[in-house]
Amino acid sequence: MKNNDVKTLAKGSDKAVDMVLKLLKEKLSKYNVRISRAVANNLIVDVSRRHLRDVAKIVHNELGAYVRTCVGCDERNKNGCFAVYHIFGLDDYGVNVIVRTLAPANDVKVPSIADIAPGADWCELEFRDLLGINVTGRPVYRLILPEDWPDDLHPLRKDVPYGVRPPPVKREEVTLTELESPGIPVGPYHPALHEPEYFELYVEGETIIDVRYRGFHIHRGIEKLGESKLTYKQIPFIAERICGICGFCHSTCYVMAVEKAAKIEVPERAEFIRAIVLEIERIHSHLLWLGVACHLLGYDAGFMHTWRIREAIMKLAEYLTGSRKTYGINIIGGVRKDINKEKIQNVLKTLDHIEREVKELLDMMLSVPEVKRRLTGTGILTRGEARKLSVVGPVARASGLNRDVRKDYPYLAYKYVSFKVPVYTEGDNLSRTLVRVEEIFESISIIRQLLDRLPSGDIKVEKYEIEPDKVSTASVEAPRGEDIHFLITGKGRPYRWKVRAPTYQNIPALRPMLREQMLADAPITIASIDPCFSCTDRVIVIETRNGKVVSVKRINIVKLSRRRWPQNEVSKALRSS
């Protein structure tokens, strides 16, 4: 009966929030918690450090919430404490449960929940690095800051000014013995990867047995910049530059968070235009990915042709917004560029053309025997693992999780259109490809529906006031999965602004995906989550002097390969040929 109730419920509505509130009160009655409503579909649960783990257990395991992210915040000038916000998402209700824990400034530590909810693994390390909030009960290591960054300097603390560049700390040289590093280093710069990240693949023969990841080479300090230098109105433009591919998702996500916090009623027409541009972005991103996947599989003809078709979409984006990428049309309160009748006609015409071409090409591409064989059965992510790690986007949908922010946490104009969310259960590279292929056609249909129903009226509101100290979140289904922006409003600029890009949640899933795989399938498997490292990394440019570690490993590889092919055998083989 309860399930039926949930099914008919409008997700994210006031009624849904009240239901979750009641449910939480019932479940958490044993513990000393205070549950309050924040703006829109957010609930805040204040809990002491002692009960954090119990509450997390109930919310994550019993209520079936996904970990969306966790955020550390320096609130010493407000209440003398550091705060940690664990954001859980109840997909069935479309409600966020934000669990807030305070740690006093003289005892800055919180218990870890990473063993209960593995999806929180990285973000715990993140606030440990950036805010110096210690996490107890789990192995800790440096995730985001470079190795030569001083131990006691935490850049996101409010007493650290923007732009601090401490001299690098000299550390003892790391020399790895042969036994410790039988790894194959992939990256930070590698032809199979398109952005700087570092994977270490441990192999036995040709089979991968384990993976280690070191990323955050391009942490750019965007959150600190937003909290200390920029104003509310400037941030949409820098948010758009978090990612070069799904930038509009980030700017939409940010403006939506601010609009929710300030209770700004955005005109419907603006919501439609934003949704149209978001879908255009999804089509171009998926086509880009399909091209890259073909390229990695050695099928360059497919790569060239998908990118040829993508060019028409890029031009469409420029036609509607004024720029191929970084559209720059999002502002708080609406959009800057309108779509007129002539444009609608032209867009529809181009879409028809693109749909025909994509259908023809993809149909042919996926029938290429090599492409099919390389994708089928490789890089499997089981449903259980996917659920445990709270993966998002096409990766989740290919592993049998029916998760889509557009349906689960309705935003913008998506409630006015009907579309299908493709879900596959195999969890291999082929299903991830097929999810994206189907989404391209769904997006085309969504744009058609939106253009058809485009309401008249204004495209922006210009007068609004943003009150400080409001906690708000917004999420957008980016091509790679769910983007989430967490915002605490301040005076003139956000007090805390945290960005979580989808790849952040998906990279940990690479470990189960790559294990027991052939080494040759590693590039396509890594690419199958459509990794976008720029948006995952976000924050400070500092040269890491890891060169030595990498070069040691290269020597190791040379040594290893010599051992497998001793010199005399090689020369013998050469002589006999």
* Residues between 365 and 394 that touch other proteins (CB under 8 A): 365, 367-369
- 29: its two tokens: 């009655």
Contact positions with other proteins (CB under 8 A) in 416-445: none
What is the C-alpha to C-alpha distance for residues 333 and 322, in angstroms, rounded to an integer?
19
CB of 345 to other proteins, least distance (A): 15
Q: How far apart are CA 303 and CA 382, in angstroms?
A: 29
- Burial class for 251, CB neighbours closer than 10 Å (0-12, 13-18, 19+): buried
If one asks whether residue 359 binds other proteins (CB under 8 A), the answer comes out as: no
End-to-end CA distance of the chain: 76
Residue selected from 364, 520, 541, 573 as contacting other proteins according to rule CB under 8 A: 364
Nearer to other proteins, 174 or 364 (CB): 364
CB of 236 to other proteins, least distance (A): 8
- Kindly state the number of chain residues that form the binding site for other proteins, as judged by CB under 8 A: 29
By CB under 8 A, name the one of 60, 274, 305, 538 that touches other proteins: 305
For other proteins, the closer CB: 367 or 576: 367
Among 10, 105, 153, 301, binds other proteins (CB under 8 A): 301
Alpha carbon distance 128, 487 (integer Å): 19
- Closest to other proteins by CB, 294 or 398: 294
Q: Which is it for the CA torsion 527, 398, 476, 499, positive or negative?
A: negative
Q: Is 44 helix (H, G, I), strand (E, B) or coil?
A: strand
Q: Which is nearer to other proteins, 78 or 308 (CB)?
A: 308
Is there binding between residue 464 and other proteins (CB under 8 A)? no
β-pairing, 95-104 vs 42-47, is: parallel
How far apart are CB 155 and other proteins at their closest, in Å? 22
Closer by beta carbon to other proteins, 202 or else 319: 319
What does the block give as tokens for 352? 């028809």
Question: Is residue 541 a contact point for other proteins (CB under 8 A)?
Answer: no
| 57 lies in the site for other proteins, by CB under 8 A | no
- Indicate whether 308 belongs to the interface with other proteins (CB under 8 A): yes
Options 305-313, 388-396, 441-449, 531-539: segment touching other proteins (CB under 8 A): 305-313
360 lies in the binding site for other proteins (CB under 8 A): yes
Which positions from 312 to 341 touch other proteins by CB under 8 A, shown as an x/- string? ---x--xxxxxx--x-x-------x-----
Q: State the number of CA atoms in the 13 A half-sphere of 50 facing the CB.
A: 4
Nearer to other proteins, 309 or 524 (CB): 309
To other proteins, the closest distance from the beta carbon of 467 in angstroms equals 22
Nearest to 514 by CA among 378, 394, 382, 398: 378
My answer on whether omega of the bond before 155 falls inside 30° of 0, hence cis, is: no
Query: Which 172-231 residues touch other proteins, going by CB under 8 A?
Result: 230
Whichever of 216 and 254 has its CB closer to other proteins, that residue is 254
Give Cβ neighbours of residue 202 (< 8 Å, ≥ 6 apart).
Answer: 182, 183, 184, 208, 209, 210, 211, 212
DSSP code string of 301-347: HHHHHHHHHHHHHHHHHHHHHSSSSS---EETTEES----HHHHHHH
Compute the distance between CA of residue 573 and CA of residue 577 in angstroms, rounded to an integer.
Answer: 6
Rounded Cα gap, residues 433 and 443, in angstroms: 15
Please report how close the Cβ of residue 540 comes to other proteins at its closest, in angstroms. 19
Nearer to other proteins, 37 or 308 (CB): 308
The 3-class secondary structure across 207-222, one letter per residue, is: EEEEEEEECCCCCECH
Identify the residue whose tokens are 């015409």: 349
**33 versus 332: smaller Cβ distance to other proteins:** 332
Map the footprint of other proteins across residues 222-261, applying CB under 8 A. 230, 233-234, 236-238, 241
Query: Which CB sits closer to other proteins, 360 or 467?
Result: 360
Q: How far is the CB of 552 from other proteins (least distance, A)?
A: 40
For residues 315 and 554, which CB has a smaller minimum distance to other proteins in the complex?
315
CB-based contacts of 394, cutoff 8 Å, min separation 6: 432, 435, 436, 439, 480, 481, 530
> Cβ 90 to other proteins, closest distance in Å?
36
Give yes or no for a contact between 508 and 386, defined as CB atoms under 8 angstroms apart. no
- Of 409, 413, 437, nearest to 424 by C-alpha is 437
Residues that bind other proteins (CB under 8 A): 230, 233-234, 236-238, 241, 301, 305, 308, 311, 315, 318-323, 326, 328, 336, 360-361, 363-365, 367-369
